[in-house]
Amino acid sequence: MISVARNLWRLTSIARVLAREGAMFPLEASDAGRLLVNALDPLVSPDSRQLRPGQRLAVALQRLGPTFVKFGQALSTRSDLVGEEVAADLSQLQDRLPPFPAADARRIIAEELDRPVEELFSSFEDLPVAAASIAQVHFAVTTEGATVAVKVLRPGVERQFAGDIALFYWLARWAERLMPSFRRLRLVDSVRAFEDSVTMEMDLRFEASAAAEMAENFIDDDSFMIPAIDWQRTAKRVMTLERIAGIPVDEVDAITAAGHDRDQVMAKAASAFFNMVFRDGFFHADMHPGNLFVGERGELIAVDFGITGRVDRQTRRFLGEMLLGFLNGDYRRVAEVHFEAGFVPADKSVDAFTQACRSIAEPILGRPLHEISVARLLGQMFQVTETFAMETQPQLLLLQKSMLLAEGVGRRLDPKVNMWHLARPLIESWMTDNLGPQARVRETVGSLMSSLESLPRLVAQAEKTVEALRSGGLKLHRDSLRGMSSSPRNGIFPAWVPWVLVAILAALLARGG
C-alpha cells in the first residue's frame, strides 16, 4: 500500500511537469484523454507552445531528471509507439545536466579508491569538461605523469534511479493488465532491459570492462582506437582512462582543415560499426558525435562505453540476411527470415508479410542512395507489429538506436554518401563466410562433435541413476515426492515417469553396445 501511494505521488509530480511543458499529447488517443489535455492547456508555458510535440516531451524529460533522460533516449527507438517525428525529436535529447560540485567529486574518488585525491593525481581540474545525467568527467594528471580523464558518478543517482524504475515497472504491469493488446509490446521486458542497461551504466567497472573488451576486439585495427583503462584508479563510482586528443566527428570543417578525407573517415566508421555488430556481436550503443573523435592520424577514437549491446550469433545471421534481402529487393527472403527467427508467429501468412515488407521498403529504398536509412527501415518494421502479432524484440531496439546514431554520424561527414553502401561488401563477405556451404559444414561438424563429447557424461549419469534405482539408493526429498504425486498427469503416467524410462533405456543401450 505504501509503494502504491509513493508511485501515485510521484506520478502526480511527473504529470505536473508534463502538463507545464505541453507534453501530455500521448493521452489524446482517447476521448477522455483529449478532454484532460484540453483542461490542462492553460498550464502550458508560452515557450513550450512554440515547440513540436516531441521537442516539448524532450524538455519535460530533461526536467524530470537522469532516469527520464535515459528513458527518452530509449523511447527514441520506439517509433512504433510514439511516431517517427516524436522519435526523431527524442533522438536529439541531450544527456546534459548542470555539474555537481568538485568537492563531491573529490569525496567520491577518495571513498571509492581509499586514498585522497592528492595521493592519486599530481593535478586534478575541479571544473568538469562534461556533465551528464549519470556522471561527469574531470581532466587530471596521475602521480606517474600520465594525462587522464576521470569519470565520477553523480551523487545520489542510484537511489533516484531505483525509485523511478519501480514506478516504470508498476506502470508497465498495469498497462499490460488493463490493455491486453499491449502485451505483445512486452512492456515489462522492455523496462527490464532498460533497467539492466542503466544499472550497468551506473557501475563504472562495467564500463571499464566494456572498453577493455572492445579494445581487445580491435587490437589489430589501427583505424579504430579505444582509450586505455587505468584499473588502479577505477572502482564502482570512479573510472580513470587515457585522455585522448581529437576532433569531434561532427566538426566537418575542422576535420577537412586537418587534412583528413571525410569519405575515408566515414568508411572507417562503417567498417567499425559493422565489425562490432557482425564480427564481434558486441557494439557501442551510444556512438553520437560527442563520443566519437578523429585522431591526428585519421583514426576514429571512441569514448563513453556506458551503453553497449550484444547480439548472439543466430540473430546476427538473421540480421545479415534481412539487410541483404532489403538491399537486394528480395522481400520474400526478408519475410522468411522473420518467420525463421520466430519474430512473426508461424500461423501468419508469409505472402502477406512479404507484401508488408515491400510496402515499407519501396518508399524508402526508392530514394537516392544517400537518403536511405536502414535504421528508419527497421523502425517502420516495428509499426507492422500489431497486424502480424509480432512480439517486440528488446535486444534489437538498442541496435536500431545505434544504427540511427551511426547514420547521423555518416550524414554529418558527407550527406551524399550512404554508409550502408560502404558496408555492403563487408556484409556480403561475412554472409559468405557464415552462411555459405563451407560454413554450414563447419557448423554441422561442430554440433556433432559437441554432442559426441557430451555422450560419455550422459551415459555415465544414466548408469548411476539405474544403479541407484536398483540398490534403493536413489533418495528424493519429500517435497519432490509430494510434487511428483500432485503434478498434472500426462496420459496415464505421472510426469516424472518418462525421465526414469529415458535414464533406464540409455543405460541399457550403453551396456548392450
Look up residue 333 and give its three cell numbers: 527472403
**Can 286 be counted among the known catalytic residues?**
yes
**Among candidate residues 377, 376, 510, 378, the one with its CA nearest the CA of residue 456:** 510
Contacts of 322 (CB under 8 A, 6+ apart): 334, 337, 338
Q: Report whether 134 contacts 66 (CB < 8 A).
A: yes
What is the chain's length?
513
Question: Catalytic pick from 280, 286, 330, 351?
Answer: 286
Q: How many C-beta neighbours within 10 Å does residue 166 have?
A: 15
**Could you tell me whether strands 135-142 and 121-124 are parallel, antiparallel, or unpaired per DSSP bridges?**
antiparallel
CA 386, 391, 392, 396 dihedral sign is negative
Residue pointed to by grid coordinates 515417469: 497
CA distance 500 to 114: 57
Q: Report whether 278 contacts 402 (CB < 8 A).
A: no
Return the ∠ at Cα 58 (arms to 55 and 63), rounded to 5°: 130
CA distance 364 to 371: 8
To which H or E segment does residue 494 belong?
Answer: none
To which H or E segment does residue 372 belong?
Answer: none
CA distance 185 to 172: 10
Half-sphere exposure of 304 (CA within 13 A, CB side): 20
Residues carrying an active site annotation: 286
